[in-house]
Amino acid sequence: MSRPGPAGHASAGPAVRRAGADPYRGRVHVPELAWPTTAAQARAEQDRLRPLVRTTGSLPAPLRTVAGLDVAYGGDDRLAAAVVVLDADTLAPVDQATAVGVAAFDYVPGLFAFRELPALLAALAALSTVPDVLVCDGHGLAHPRRFGLACHLGVLLDRPTIGIAKTPLSGRYEPPDPRRGAGSALLADGEVVGRALRTRDGVKPVYVSVGHRLDLDAACALALRLTPRYRLPETTRRADRLCRDALAAAG
DNA sequence: GCGACAG
DNA sequence: ATCTTGTCGC
């Protein structure tokens, strides 16, 4: 099963410092959590927070940093969350942090956020910088109740977020053209909840959706900026490696 | 009722 | 997510 509460111990990574005024200074503000125990409570919480989602907004100009978040699992509900902050132009890492702990909820499609959010927030709190945009490994609006992990995290922090998932969860779509950059609408209940976006020629698409404070075009533009070489964004790839390492290091 | 079902 | 053998390709 699972337990609510703290996600365990967090550790900051070697933040890259710059001489003079530090453009990466600051801390992400992480809220206190009252975690649900049952699926019904969790859905009620999603319905309560859903109205707070903002689905408009363009990428900050200039866009300095982008964060990638991911979680790796070990046996017995153990997990490790990681956040990696990349320079938006060079995609070089400038900060990182991890947090090990226990899954905060059982895995239930549609309630995924309740499982990973506590650990992700702990990792974010250990960061020494405040990323301009947060990229989640999962969906935002492309969710049964339009409130996936990316929306949830965005609302809790009131920061710009987007979701980039490897497989669809909610919505129908036509296969986009085979070239990188092509996309097709993810439709659910007659509305566009996201976009199947081809990030590499001839490779299956990823599923991009709005999290908070950005519109779908901005989300897709960012997804393409983060995929100069592989199907998955560099943010996700870096975070994936980091959380696996953190899990292994934790024993 | 039956399938589908982020990670 | 994680468990896993082999296989195709750069």
Residue spans per domain, chain A: 10-16+29-249
What is the rounded CA–CA span in Å between residue A67 and residue A129?
A: 10
The answer to whether A72 CB is within 7 Å of strand C is: yes
Residue entry with tokens 């200074």? A25
CA of A230 to C1' of C3 (A): 25
Predicted pLDDT at A17: 37
The conformation of residue A172, written as its DSSP 8-state character, comes to: B
Q: How far is the CA of A7 from the C1' of B4 (A)?
A: 30
Strand C at less than 7 A from CB of A48: no
At A32 the pLDDT is: 81
Q: Which of A128, A8, A133, A26 is nearest to A71 (CA)?
A: A8
Of all nucleotides in the shown strands, which has a C1' nearest the CA of A168?
B6
Three-point CA angle A107, A69, A168, nearest 5°: 55
Question: Strand C: which of residues 219-248 in chain A lie with Cβ below 7 A?
Answer: 244, 247
* C-beta of residue A218 within 8 angstroms of C-beta of residue A226: no
A217 is in an annotated binding site: no
Q: Which band of pLDDT confidence, cut at 50, 70 and 90, is reported for residue A12? A: low
Nucleotide nearest to A107 (CA to C1'): B7
Query: Looking at residue A21, what is its pLDDT?
Result: 42
A249 by Cβ neighbours in 10 Å (0-12 / 13-18 / 19+) ranks as exposed
Q: Please, what is the average pLDDT of chain A?
A: 91
Q: How many CB atoms lie within 10 A of CB A244?
A: 17
- CATH architecture assigned to A10-16+29-249: 2-Layer Sandwich (3.30)
Which residue has 């363009």 as its token pair?
A: A58
Radius of gyration of chain A (CA): 17
Looking at residue A48, the DSSP 8-state letter turns out to be H
Q: A62: cis peptide before it, omega within 30°? A: yes
- Nucleotide C2 C1' to residue A154 CA (A): 28
Nucleic chain B: which protein residues 169-188 of A have CB below 7 A from it?
A: 169
pLDDT, residue A6, reads: 45
List chain C nucleotides near protein: any atom < 7 Å from a Cβ: 1-2
Residue with minimal CA–C1' distance to C1 is: A73
- Between the alpha carbon of residue A217 and those of residues A70, A89, A102, A168, the distances in Å are 23, 19, 35, 18
Residue A70 labelled as part of a binding site:
yes
Span A65-115, pLDDT tens digits: 999 999 999 999 999 999 999 999 999 999 999 999 999 999 999 999 999
Residue A107's CB is within 10 A of a number of other CB atoms, namely: 12
